[in-house]
Amino acid sequence: MKTKLEYIWLDGYQPTQGLRAKTRIAENFSGKLEDCPIWAFDGSSTQQAEGGSSDCLLKPVALYPDPTRKNAYVVMTEVLNADGTPHASNGRATIEADDDDFWFGFEQEYFLMDMDTKLPLGFPVNGYPAPQGPYYCGVGAKAAFGRDIVEEHFDVCLEAGLNVEGINAEVAAGQWEFQIFAKGAHDAGDQIWVARYFLEKVCEKYGVYVDWHPKPLGKDLDWNGSGMHANFSNGLMRTCGDKKVFEAICEEFGKHIEEHISVYGAGNDQRLTGKHETAAITDFSYGVSDRGSSIRIPVGTVEDGWKGRLEDRRPASNGDPYKIAAVIISTTKKAIV
């Protein structure tokens, strides 16, 4: 039997990488990652190589069934140079140390945009919809726009085996969110990127595109931006029962602001303004149940006797989850060594 293997990877475009994909046929495929061969592509067409030496390699790192096609799988890959070393665009390779001790829950926000008007679904051509208020978790044709797309994407992700834990309409019209939980930075990043791929692909059918920019409507308008809040914990945080551990981690994050912001997504200064449930990009703060802080200490963590997680609210919707997870692990470990 012939099986379609869709290899997906991140291109070299800056400041925000895009997804690329191509398909190969495998005969009598076992359904196992180790039986997906390394493949080459033309890096000169993706800002990842020069034309005179254009071969780059795709190293398979994760495998998922593809419910959008018959007899198919999606193969998440890392980009390597021709000599087998990680390419400069390979964010996954920035994860220096990873194991299941670190758990991540990413809240991926995004806007669904009309191809013709270049406006979010629900926005009239000449003007704006009613102000924010009814759209967050809204129900009904006046409040929810693009639900068919969101529901189809939800089903595809679940059928593919992605650990999507929920979806909801967000604060602005045409804005939505899905949440993914995973143990380990590699797995979390793989699942976010594959879920993004499936969303882009589902949207193709509807003549709609996804805008991952953190503030597609501009920083001066009274509409929420899009983030990718990063919930994280390690074994110590989940078991310590010690307020001082959480405060030490938060204080350590405050010492590495630029290191984090540099990988939290392009254009994030337009979103992190101190308004619309954000802290200003120039500030750093943390607080219990405070969605206007840089890091929120969930009330559940406190009620469970200081056992649980933290939420870094600064990552943007277009950030690379690999790089975000890598810097979170690094800073957390500095705080609790």
Do 160 and 291 lie in one domain? The reply is yes
Do 86 and 108 lie in one domain? The reply is no
Count structural domains, the chain.
2
Compute the average pLDDT of residues 67-83.
97
Domain endpoint, select from 76, 94, 112: 94
Give Rg (Cα) of the chain. Answer: 20
Tokens of 282: 């120039």
Q: Which residues contact 73 (CB under 8 A, 6 or more apart)?
A: 3, 4, 5, 6, 29, 31, 63, 64, 65, 66
Domain endpoint, select from 94, 120, 147: 94
pTM of the model: 0.96
pLDDT interval class at 100 (50, 70, 90): confident
Residue 49, pLDDT > 90, answer yes
Do 86 and 185 lie in one domain? The reply is no
Compute the average pLDDT of residues 243-248.
97
Compute the average pLDDT of residues 46-72.
95
Using alpha carbons, select from 308, 147, 328, 114 the residue that is nearest to residue 228: 328
Which range marks the domain in which residue 90 is found?
Answer: 2-94
Domain endpoint, select from 67, 94, 121: 94
- 183 vs 124: CA distance, rounded Å: 42
pLDDT at 221: 78
Q: First CA to last CA across the chain, in angstroms?
A: 52
pLDDT at 277: 83
Strands (E), the chain: 2-10, 19-27, 39-42, 55-65, 72-80, 103-114, 164-169, 175-183, 208-211, 228-233, 286-288, 295-297, 310-312
Task: Tell me the pLDDT of the chain averaged across its residues.
Answer: 96
pLDDT interval class at 295 (50, 70, 90): very high
